[in-house]
Amino acid sequence: MKILLLTMLIMNVWGFYIMGMDKKRAQKHQYRIQEKTLWLVAVFGGAIGTFLGMRLFRHKTKHLSFIIGFPILAIVDILLLIKIIF
């Protein structure tokens, strides 16, 4: 249980970070992080961080799959956290 919580914490921090990093790279026209990587981080427990990063950095906000997918995954993660904690 502690390992799962720690993994989710790390994935959320990482998801938030890579959304900001990808936004910065996009602005500088540099090599970008693959969308597949963003989705994998979100699917494997980092959806809350990637969603918050998307909103804070205003990144990927024109992509319908991100607008719908990240919040849904974030809700799933929150429900999973509630189940684990309680």
Q: Summarize pLDDT for 10-61 with one digit per residue, the tens.
A: 999 999 999 999 999 999 999 999 999 999 999 999 999 999 999 999 999 9
Per-residue confidence (pLDDT) for residue 74, from 0 to 100: 97
Long-range CB pairs of 2-10, under 8 A, 24+ apart, other chains included = 4/45, 4/84, 5/81, 5/84, 5/85, 7/45, 8/45, 8/46, 8/77, 8/80, 8/81
Q: For the chain, which residues make up each domain, given as ranges?
A: 2-22+32-85
pTM: 0.93
Question: Which amino acid is it at 68?
Answer: I
Q: Summarize pLDDT for 57-82 with one digit per residue, the tens.
A: 999 999 999 999 999 999 999 999 99
